[in-house]
Chain A
């Protein structure tokens, strides 16, 4: 069974590679709509697995909520719907849910009776919420970069490195078209990228998670070899061998961990820099960096200016120690190469 799906995946991969080489490159809009279609199909299929409504019991934990028992639907109710049963404060301020001790995105349906805690940015230990927020901002940056360039130029999103919050900026690794190798972004272009991000934030789009088998993920990213490798990497790391895809608007992306509920949670967001790293297998690797703060933790403009200045410096991430304590963001060469 596993070999058959792997064979199918291999066939699809070779066929798609040949097709990509032979035919003209599909335009960005076509790629996006194809990914969207596969995502929607898989989402509908997963929803259809629960034809009858079955009830589960969710017991809430948290300040003022201890022991509250909510009766929700299996496979349909999300932590956000549990928050909706509580108060508007919970809906607006919850960032992530902790279901039986496991970080759970707000829009992912619950499958079993469990105990749930809603995390906010102002808890006594908001580390998980901070990490999720950082990852979501990086994902947003990736989405902006994907849609920012003209159709003549390809944009390859590489895997987003897991950067700790103290390093000052979130990063998104990207490999642009070879025609843009000599291009360095000016202030104006960074500002227009920021504007693009602010538009997405203003639309308040939800990040819809979907846990899929690696074959479906490979089908979603059938036009991008780089993404398919990333899918395989993530599938190998996951204990059950499944991959989580997220969709924001019409952009489908991969992420290492849970993302925040919706884009409207960010308030101050700026794309600060685009540094060129070394030449890699996909072209010239570039690192786009940004700085963001959520709606509940806005900074005074003086503080923001200082943090932003720091966020322009290159953030070094050593590939082998992604989970280690923060590395100082100076421009010394990384200890290991890739």
Chain B
């Protein structure tokens, strides 16, 4: 092949290389995906989490077709290395995301790994998992002066509407 600089500069190349080659990459993603389906929340490097995300959502789309579908079953059995997760995928995850059209996963950054490599870490989860939320909702203190005044205002309005109706 032509030995040009183009081969060395990777501007605009979106496909990531992971592991030892394309087959190794797919195997790695398969393991990650199996872990995600089992635990519903996993911690990996940001690049791997980003790669798995695409496959995780596609898998759920296939699962929504139902386990009677031939293609869906083949996909599920290929991607999930632990075969006890195949029923979980079709009976738990697929019904959970029935109303969602896309966006079944959530990714959040974590502090860098403690090792020498200081790798960029991320947590990837399926929405609707039983764990506490990644971004905890901070409730406003009900007892501050302004909130008490607003509470009185709301009660007053409710009373007025009740007497009017």
Chain A residues proximal to chain B, CB less than 8 Å: 121-122, 124-127, 129-130, 133, 165-168, 291, 293-294, 297, 299, 303, 306-307, 310, 326, 328-330
Contacts and interface: CB of A to CB of B under 8 A. Distances in A.
Interface string B121-160: 0000000000000000000010111101111110110010
9 contacts: A122-B141, A124-B141, A126-B144, A127-B143, A130-B145, A165-B149, A168-B152, A307-B149, A329-B156
A124 B147 CA distance: 13
Interface in B53-102: none
Contacts of B145: 121, 126, 129-130, 133, 165, 293-294, 297
B94 to A, nearest CB: 43
Nearest to B153: A310
A307 B156 contact: no
A166 B155 contact: yes
A328 B156 contact: yes
Contacts of A121: 144-145
Contact of A130 (B148, B156, B159): B148
Contact of B144 (A166, A297, A307, A310): A297
A167 B152 contact: yes
Q: What 9 A-B pairs have minimum CB-CB distances, sorted nearest first?
A: A166-B152, A165-B148, A297-B146, A130-B145, A168-B152, A310-B153, A166-B148, A307-B149, A297-B145
B1 to A, nearest CB: 65
A125 B144 CA distance: 8
A303 B156 contact: no
A299 B144 contact: no
Given A168-B149, A310-B152, 12 more contacts: A124-B141, A126-B145, A130-B145, A165-B152, A166-B152, A166-B155, A167-B152, A291-B149, A294-B145, A297-B146, A310-B156, A329-B156
Contacts of A129: 145
A310 B144 CA distance: 18
Nearest to A127: B143
B146 A126 contact: no
Nearest to A307: B149
Contact of B146 (A124, A299, A310, A330): A299
A310 B156 CA distance: 9
A232 B148 CA distance: 33
Nearest to B152: A166
Nearest to B156: A310
Contacts of A168: 149, 152-153, 156
Given A124-B141, A125-B143, A297-B145, A328 B153 contact: no
Contact of A307 (B141, B153, B159): B153
Contacts of B150: 303, 307
Contacts of A299: 146
Given A328-B156, A328-B159, A166 B151 contact: yes
Nearest to A168: B152
B147 to A, nearest CB: 9
B67 to A, nearest CB: 51
A176 B144 CA distance: 35
Contacts of B149: 165-166, 168, 291, 293, 307
A307 B148 CA distance: 11
Give the residue among B143, B144, B145 with the most A Cβ atoms within 10 A: B145
A291 B149 CA distance: 10
Contacts of A329: 152, 156
A129 B144 CA distance: 9
Contacts of B143: 124-127, 130
B153 A306 contact: yes
Contact of A326 (B141, B144, B152): B152
Contacts of B148: 130, 165-166
A116 B111 CA distance: 39
Nearest to A167: B152
A1 B40 CA distance: 80
A293 B143 CA distance: 14
A165 B155 CA distance: 13
Among B141, B146, B149, B153, which residue has the most Cβ atoms of chain A within 10 A? B149
A126 B150 CA distance: 15
Interface in B24-49: none
- Pick the most buried of A165, A293, A294, A326: most chain B CB atoms within 10 A of its CB: A165
A122 B142 CA distance: 11
Contacts of B144: 121-122, 126, 130, 297
A127 to B, nearest CB: 6
A127 B141 CA distance: 12
Nearest to A309: B153
